[in-house]
Amino acid sequence: MSQQPAITFSTAAAPRKGAVVIFCDGDNNLGPWGAALGSGAVIAKAMKAGDFKGEFGKTLTVMVPEGTELDRIIVVGLGKVDDLTEHHWLRLGGKLASALKGIDRSDVMLELDGQTVSAASVAEVALGIKLASYKFDRYHTKGDKKKKKQDKIVLHAKTAANAKRKWAETDGVADGVLLARDLVDEPPNVLTPVEFAKRASALKKLGCIVEILDEPAMKKLKMGALLGVSLGSRNPARMAIIQWKGGKAKDRPVAFVGKGVTFDTGGISLKPGAGMGDMKGDMGGAAAVTGLMHALAARKAKANVVGVIGLVENMPDGNAQRPGDIVTSMSGQTIEVLNTDAEGRLVLADALYHCNKKFKPKFMVNLATLTGAILVALGSEHAGLFSNDDKLSEQLTKAGLDTQEKLWRMPLTPEYDKLIDTKNADMKNIGGRYAGSITAGQFLQRFVGKTPWAHLDIAGTAMSSPKTDINKGWASGFGVRLLDRLVADHYEN
């Protein structure tokens, strides 16, 4: 992870020197600071010259403004102030990160005419700055390696004290998102199942209980579906079970389960070469679960939560499983593996079953970069939501809208379920030519019993995502903010 700006909060007045950020609404109203900085006329002139009308997220930099000792004034547009949501403030933070990059110290005056910017909004700005500043540059050895000192960004607001308190929590969520991004970005020779398990174990530092199952332990539990995927790999499989006990002792936990295929070649059903490097991100579900557990532990969520991640590498090899193999899952159900590239569901089958049996959770939500077909259906705008429970679906959908990690519900029905029946075993691991994301969902559903469950297919949203105000990189960390919100809204006491 690259160097992050240092973010602090203040109630002090605007400084007389350096870089100052002020805001402008869609009616060209500069608020209290335009005039106070002694440069109202200069700014007005610059706005006119730059055809700047205070549109949301637009910025205008006025260098060495006349009549002040400031280096620069950066005017940021807010658009229609009454329409600003929490997400707008998050995005504004992202815009600020870009505008202030490389400036040693910036003072951001979060104040509007007659309106106080709430502590929650100020914390969202800080979150946006932090998320947008992320860059995966660990493996660059050349270029800008001069140890430049950290940029400082001071957020000035009347609500600074409360914002600082709120940020103490939100900062933990931000760290969770960045952890998830780091894991997805890491190259597959570095982030093997064993290494991933190590990184999950680091959550012990935050007070999580972490158990790692190695291959003999999983054999003992009869996880034949997961272990079958791993047969072709020199890198042994792992399962990480992460617990955060922030709730009442007797409270049943909520559970999150992640697909952690550290590299997916397709196995013997080998993928075509073009773009195969992207399959280093096939552990995006496991990364989101790990990032989420980090977030919950860091902000000391008052909830009991388990995270289970199945970690394997899907490789072709003399010892790899073949199309046609029949494996027995931990549930006892047999699976005819007709395509070794439909491996994620095999990993999740055992992870979901084990999680359900061991913890009897209130619900299970699994995340997986499961199907290319979900990209065909939804692109990168929504993740697919598949569920056996309307209430859980509604809670998830709402959390998705609030965090703008959006979900779109897809169907599960007995008719689709039939598509994975086979004459040779209890089921096969592929459906027909059509409805590929749904048949994958139907497959998973056969391993969750009656427990309320949702499957999020994040193949389109976890990686190679379009650039946004708060994500400039390849990995998005999708799911961390979404599920943190789900827990915060409904499952904390």
Binding site for Zn ion (CB under 5 A): 261, 264, 282, 344
Check residue 264 for interaction with Mn ion (CB under 5 A). Answer: yes
Return the SS3 of 462.
Answer: coil
Contact positions with ligand BES (CB under 6 A) in 391-430 = 430
For ligand BES, the closer of residues 96 and 373 by Cβ is 373
Cβ closer to Zn ion: 65 or 344? 344
Binding residue for ligand BES (CB under 6 A) from 371, 388, 445, 476? 371
Give me the phi and psi of 8, to 5 degrees please: -130, 170
Say whether residue 230 binds ligand BES (CB under 6 A).
Answer: no
> Alpha-carbon distance 107 to 76, whole Å?
13
Residue found under tokens 């308190």: 165
Catalytic member of 280, 345, 406, 481: 345
Q: Would you say 343 or 350 has its CB closer to ligand BES?
A: 343
Active site residue 345: yes
Minimal CB distance to ligand BES: which residue? 372
Q: Minimum distance between the CB of residue 255 and Mn ion, rounded to whole angstroms?
A: 24
> Is residue 336 within the footprint of Mn ion (CB under 5 A)?
no
Binding mask 429-458 for ligand BES (x = CB under 6 A): -x-----x----------------------
Q: Which residues pair with 363 in a beta bridge?
A: none
Which alpha helices (H) appear in 320-372, and where do they start and end? Answer: 344-359
- By beta-carbon proximity to ligand BES, the closer residue of 324 and 372 is 372
Binds ligand BES by CB under 6 A, chosen from 25, 124, 195, 264: 264
On whether the CB atoms of residues 181 and 134 are closer than 8 A, the answer is: yes
Distance CA 262, CA 184 (A): 9
Q: Please, which residue, 207 or 379, has the CB nearer to ligand BES?
A: 379
Please pick, from the candidates 25, 185, 343, 417, the single residue that binds ligand BES as defined by CB under 6 A.
Answer: 343
- Closer to Mn ion by Cβ: residue 341 or 350: 341
Closest approach of Cβ 275 to Mn ion, in Å?
13
Per rule CB under 5 A, is residue 341 in the interface with Mn ion?
yes
**Annotation marks residue 271 as catalytic:** yes
Rounded Cα gap, residues 191 and 197, in angstroms: 9
Give residues with Cβ within 8 angstroms of 470, minimum separation 6. 90, 91, 93, 94, 127, 128, 131, 132
- Cα 185 from chain centre: 12
Structure tokens at 9: 């909060």
Angle between helices 480-490 and 160-185 (to 10 degrees): 130
> How many whole angstroms separate alpha carbon 161 and alpha carbon 122?
11
Q: Which one, 59 or 371, has the nearer CB to Zn ion?
A: 371
- Scanning 8-16, 71-79, 85-93, 334-342 for contacts with ligand BES by CB under 6 A, the matching segment is 334-342
In the complex, what is the shortest distance from the CB of residue 224 to ligand BES, in angstroms, rounded to a whole number? Answer: 18
Burial letters for 29-66: b for 16+ Cβ neighbours within 10 Å, e otherwise?
ebbebbeebebeebbeebbeeeebebebbbbbebeebe
Query: If 0-12 CB within 10 Å is exposed, 13-18 middle and 19+ buried, where does residue 162 land?
Result: middle
Q: How far is the CB of 307 from ligand BES (least distance, A)?
A: 20
342 binds ligand BES (CB under 6 A): yes
CA R_g for the chain? 25
Q: Which stretch binds ligand BES (CB under 6 A): 54-62, 130-138, 323-331, 369-377?
A: 369-377
Catalytic residue among 45, 135, 199, 271: 271
Q: Does 339 bind ligand BES (CB under 6 A)?
A: yes
Query: Measured from the CB of residue 432, what is the shortest distance to ligand BES in angstroms?
Result: 10
- Greatest CA separation found in the chain? 84
From the CB of 446, what's the least distance to Zn ion, in Å? 19
CB of 457 vs ligand BES, minimal distance in Å: 9
Apex 425 CA angle, 424 and 428, nearest 5: 95
The C-alpha angle with vertex 266 and arms to 426 and 219, in degrees rounded to 5, equals 55
* Residue 282 binding ligand BES, by CB under 6 A: yes
Q: Name the residues that contact Mn ion, by CB under 5 A.
A: 264, 341, 343
Catalytic positions, written as ranges: 271, 345
